[in-house]
A and B are shown apart, each in its own frame.
Chain A
């Protein structure tokens, strides 16, 4: 079936850049997403990218998409302690690998720890 893979942990120092990586299965996915989850809370959409784009920038966030390698990354510039959270990569399922078209397929999440 469709699968989204992420490393589970990332630790950076305050002020450094963070790069969270993700690989996905379905090369025909149209939309790819990054969600943020703070402790004890639900997920919030950070940003998304359409599959015909290579890069999207939104303030401190930069998303890079390599469709050939099915690789997505999220770069957070000038990382702050408030950025400490779990970050989920997700792809919009196409139904090509079973399951329902349109359902979001989530990775296991990368826990970002920011040290002062």
Chain B
């Protein structure tokens, strides 16, 4: 079955550590996205990538980094520069950003907690 998979589901980070969240899709989608969700804040866009080897900052990119070496994969690294990383992180993919309907498929999320 085609879909988008995030791992791990739960992640604990110590102060000062970098951690990497995985996102893989087998939908052959061009565009991939990372969102952060905090209670009452909705979804805030961290980074997005519309094509392999290219990515753009979203609204809250500071303290995060990404790579897009393969179409299927868009890992997110939460660096020690991110001062408040505890949140629920969602990865999504879409067929593209043209004029047609853009249905987004979401992973099940990773809950990151700083300990």
Asked if A92 contacts B90 (CB within 8 A), the reply is: no
B45 at the interface (CB under 8 A from A): yes
Minimum CB–CB distance from A29 to chain B (whole Å) comes to 11
CB-CB under 8 A from A109, the residues of chain B are 42-43
Supply 19 A–B pairs (Cβ within 8 Å), ascending by A.
Answer: A30-B99, A35-B104, A41-B108, A42-B90, A42-B92, A42-B106, A43-B104, A45-B103, A48-B101, A48-B103, A88-B43, A92-B102, A102-B96, A102-B97, A103-B48, A104-B104, A106-B42, A107-B42, A109-B42
Chain B: residues with Cβ within 8 Å of the partner, total of 29
Task: Report A's interface with B, CB cutoff 8 A.
Answer: 8, 30-31, 33, 35, 40-45, 48, 50, 88, 90, 92, 100-104, 106-109
Taking Cβ atoms with an 8 Å cutoff, the residues of B that contact A are 6, 31, 33, 35, 40-43, 45, 48, 50, 56, 90, 92, 94, 96-99, 101-109, 111
Closest Cβ–Cβ distance, residue B16 to chain A (whole Å): 28
Closest B residue to A4 by CB, please name it. Answer: B42
Least CB distance from B95 to A in Å reads 10
- Please state if A31 and B102 are interface contacts (CB–CB under 8 Å): yes
**A42 contacts B108, C-beta separation under 8 Å:** yes
Q: Least Cβ distance of A98 to chain B in Å?
A: 10
Q: Which residue of A lies closest to B50 (CB)?
A: A100
Interface residues of B: mostly helix, strand, loop or mixed? strand
Find the B residue at minimum CB distance from A31. B101
Cβ of A103: which chain B residues have Cβ within 8 Å of it? 33, 45, 48, 97
| Inter-chain contact A104/B106, CB cutoff 8 Å | no
CB-CB < 8 A to B103: which residues of A? 33, 45, 48
Interfacial chain A residues near B35, Cβ < 8 Å: 106
Give Cα A50–Cα B102 distance, bound, in whole angstroms.
11
